[in-house]
Structures are given as C-alpha cells and as structure tokens.
Amino acid sequence: MKTAIVIGAGIGGLAAAIRLQARGFAVSVFEINNYPGGKLTETGNHKYRFDAGPSLFTMPEKVDELLNLNTKNPRGFNYERLDEVCRYFYEDGTIIQGWGDGNKFAEEVELKLGVDAKLIKKHLDKSAYIFGATNHLFLEKSLHKIKSYLNPETFFSLFKLPFLNINQSMNDVNGKVLKHEKLIQLFNRYATYNGSNPYKAPGILNIIPHLEFGRGAFFPKGGMHSITLNLFEKAKELGVQFYFNKKIISVQVENRKVKSITTENGEIHQGDVLISNMDIVPFYRKLLPNEKHPEKVIAQERSSSALIFYWGIKKTFPNLILHNIFFSENYREEFKQIFEEYSIYKDPTIYINISSKHQPSDAPQGSENWFVMINVPGDKGQDWDGLIAEAKKNILKKISRILKIDIGPLIEYESILDPRLIEQKTSSYQGSLYGTASNDKMAAFFRHPNFSPEIENLYFCGGSVHPGGGIPLALSSAKIVSGLIL
C-alpha cells in the first residue's frame, strides 16, 4: 500500500487526505495545533460560540462530493440556501437587501437606487458567462501542466480571455456598466473575497458575484465549523491517521524526492508522497531551507488580512441578518491604506456575521454573537496594539451611528484575532488570508503550482497555491492534487 503524508489539517489538507485514503493510500496527517480545520475553526466561551474564520458558504457540492466518497450512506451534512444573502448599509441611511435571486436583487436596486433592473441583470449574466468560460480551466485544472491545455474546453477558455475584462480593473468595469456609486461599491466589494484591491484587480474577478446570485449562498446546520467536523469525521472513518500537536521542523530530500519528515521531538516519518497544506513561504523557508525556493512566487504581493472582534451582544437586532456590510464612504482611500500604506483607514468597511440568526444556540436568548471584521494589511511590523485600539473606536462609532444605538455598553464578551495571531495559529505568511493577492491580470498563472517543479513527490494544496483561497478553492486544490498523484 502506498503511503502519503499531509502537513496541515486545514480544509485543503483534510480534503486531500480524504481523496487519497479513498483511493487506497494510507494517509497520515500532521497538525501543529490540537484541532483540525486551520482557519475554519470556532472560538468563544460557555455563552457565545463563533465561527472563527470563513463565514460565507458557497458551492456546497464540493463538500458533499467528499462526504459521498466510498460510501452508500453519506454523512448527514445539512445546509439551507439563504433567501437574502447580505444586507448593505450606507451612511446616508440607504439599506439594500442583497437577495440571492438575481432578478429580485435587480428589482431591489432599481427601487432603492433608481438603476435600471435590466442593466443589473445584464451585469449578473456577464458574471455567469465568465464563470462558465473559466471554471474548467482555473478551478479544476493545474495551470502548470502542459496537458491541461491540450483539450478543446481549455482552448476555448483561453480564446475567451480577452473578452472577460482581464485588461480592465474590477472598478473600471463596474463603473462603466453600473454608473451609480453605491452599486459600484457593492460590486467592488467582491474583490475582498480573495483579499484583493478592486482598483487594481482584473475585471475577470467579476466572476465572484455569480457564486452568490447564480449558484447560491448557504448556511450549514451547526455553523461553518460543522464543515470541518464533517470532513474530519469522514477522514477518520476512511482510516486517515491524525497526529495533533506535531510540529514539523524539516523535510528530508534525496535524489529529487522527499524521503521523510522530522517532528520537533525527533520523530521521523516516511511516505511515498508528501502534500503540504502549509502556506508556501514558511514551508520553503522553514522546512526546506537548503532546497531551491520559488523566489518570484514568494515575492508576490500578499492578500489582505483581517482584524476580527468576536463580541457577545446583550441585545437582538431585527434589522440585521446573517451577513451585513457597513460601507466606508471612501472605498478607494480604504484600499489605498491597506495595500499602499499598510495601515487601517479611519472609516473602514465593516462586516458583521451573526450566526445566531440561524443557529440560536450560538448566543443566549435575547443576545447575539457578532463576528465583526474589517480588512487590514498583513503584518509588516506595524504597531498593532495601537492600530487595533483606534480601529475599535472607529468601528464602534460607525456601527452605533448607523444603527442609532450605543453598541459599546452592550458588549459582554470580547476576543480579538489580528494578523499576528492569524500567522501564529495558521502559519499564513504575514497573516494573509488568501496567499497572494490577485491585483495583477496574470495573478492566476503566477500562483504556486500544486506540485513542486524540483521535487518529484512533493505536492501543495490550500489557499496559498493554485487556484487560491477560500473554502471552494481550497477544496478544488485538493482535488487537483489528488488527480496529479493518482
């Protein structure tokens, strides 16, 4: 029986382990933490539970596919489609309901902003077109293998690229089509789904709205952490062996092949293949210091990070839903602060996720669990304690101003996650959430491949490699890796 070692039990590592174990490999997973899931974990206390990281669930079929492998009785993983995906709040009192049905959303925008619904539907149709034209190539194949390009579907995907707004920024495309500043800002927000800047990221990223309006957004029963729990249980049922609290300190290579890995306490483990679910930067710098490193990839601009406040709120807010956005009044300046000044804008766009809206047990009766997040730069040595204190004041002022109630006295529980802790807990270089940013039209082609060009039996999955960050893409990376190995 062939053996496989997976470093990291993040969502990509879990998926890779499941796929290889299901195809006859004996898989061992080594995780530095005492829990699986990486960023997709949970936090809180005895009163409030929070999904600690990713909070938007799209393309659930990718999870279902894993849970259905090698079984006639799939696990009972349940989720509901969201009727209203997100609610958008602006400083002037405008509120837009982001309905999951594209036609309904277009009518909502026409009512609130006076923008012709037909124009919005056309923009959503273009998003669906981009998805159909690129999904096969960018999400399902390795971009770094010649054979990936030797089929008709890939040829037509490449042929269509010039017509998919790859030479314009997201903001330029949205501005030209949508006209209204509030609506442009709403669609520019989708650049943050992979930690990028809409004023630089290519217009092809307008593929992202289709995931919500065309394919739907969902809430899994038990919260986002249930995705991790279901995949972890599936892996164990198949026979995957997990080793927690195991820090890998080196990878041994002989004759262009990985021979073994060594743990902090001196244990040596051998395998026929090695899959790294770590961020590529610490993997190369710390585990393979004497091998050739992909310096051009490592030097690429990193995605944004996050500052998250987990707040237990002693009140319920009927005007808020699961996903809520409080927009900055100067979006361009906010992204300039993040990507050029490496700082936090005084008027940040605020995202509030409240899972207790769908999972009442996540908060006491009459209370809510607020996951309050703003986009921030990665850790480059800033005075984070000072930045966090100032950001908290600005966040509280903005939410209190828009909701017309003083939020501060309602907070009875608080914990904080910042870029330093994200890097410490998940080995994400500088605390970036999605590996490299997509602020260049060729970014998709410049991501690290799912295999090592130098070492024959070394593979990579997760958010820092092709096809990118986020749950669906991390799961796709694992599927690409298993295909390359098998």
| Residue 378 CA from chain centroid, whole number | 15
Mean pLDDT of the chain: 94
pLDDT at position 137 is 67
Strands (E), 175-247: 217-220, 241-243
pLDDT at position 312 is 98
What band does 414 get if pLDDT is binned at 50, 70 and 90? Answer: very high
Helices 181-188/170-178 angle, 10° precision: 150
pLDDT at 443 over 80: no
Strands (E), 359-465: 368-376, 411-417, 458-460
Q: Which amino acid is at 478?
A: A
The domains found in the chain, sorted by start residue, are 3-40+62-71+222-300+439-485 (3.50.50.60), 106-210 (no CATH), 304-426 (3.30.519)
d(CA 165, CA 183): 19
Q: Which residues are CB-neighbours of 393 under 8 A, at least 6 positions away?
A: none
Q: In percent, how much of the chain has pLDDT > 90? A: 87
* Cβ–Cβ under 8 Å, residues 204 and 442: no
Count other C-beta atoms under 10 Å from residue 28's C-beta. Answer: 21
* Cβ–Cβ under 8 Å, residues 326 and 377: no
pLDDT at position 53 is 95
d(CA 277, CA 275): 7
How, if at all, do strands 368-376 and 350-353 pair? antiparallel
What band does 375 get if pLDDT is binned at 50, 70 and 90? Answer: very high
Q: Which of 483, 19, 34, 479 is nearest to 245 (CA)?
A: 34
Please calculate the CA angle 254-258-264 and round it to the nearest 5 degrees: 105
* Cβ–Cβ under 8 Å, residues 190 and 470: no
pLDDT at position 152 is 61
The position carrying tokens 């610490």 is: 282
pLDDT at position 51 is 98
pLDDT at position 71 is 82
Structure tokens at 179: 């006209």
Q: State whether residue 154 is helix, strand or coil.
A: helix
Higher-confidence residue of 15 and 77: namely: 15
Q: Which amino acid is at 485?
A: I
Structure tokens at 196: 């990028």
pLDDT at 462 over 90: yes
pLDDT at 244 over 80: yes
pLDDT at 444 over 70: no
What band does 441 get if pLDDT is binned at 50, 70 and 90? Answer: confident
d(CA 471, CA 182): 28
| Residue 49 CA from chain centroid, whole number | 20
| Helix ranges, 214-301 (H) | 225-238, 280-282, 295-298
pLDDT at 363 over 80: yes
Higher-confidence residue of 144 and 389: namely: 389
Count other C-beta atoms under 10 Å from residue 24's C-beta. Answer: 9
Structure tokens at 387: 């930045």
Helices 11-22/471-485 angle, 10° precision: 30
* Cβ–Cβ under 8 Å, residues 360 and 395: no
Q: Mean pLDDT throughout 411-434? A: 97
Structure tokens at 234: 């599936």
Count other C-beta atoms under 10 Å from residue 38's C-beta. Answer: 28
pLDDT at position 157 is 58
pLDDT at position 160 is 58
pLDDT at position 156 is 57
pLDDT in tens, 3-35: 999 999 999 999 999 999 999 999 999 999 999
Structure tokens at 55: 């909070």
pLDDT in tens, 111-166: 999 999 999 999 999 999 888 888 776 667 666 655 655 566 655 555 555 667 78
pLDDT in tens, 203-241: 989 999 999 999 999 999 999 999 999 999 999 999 999
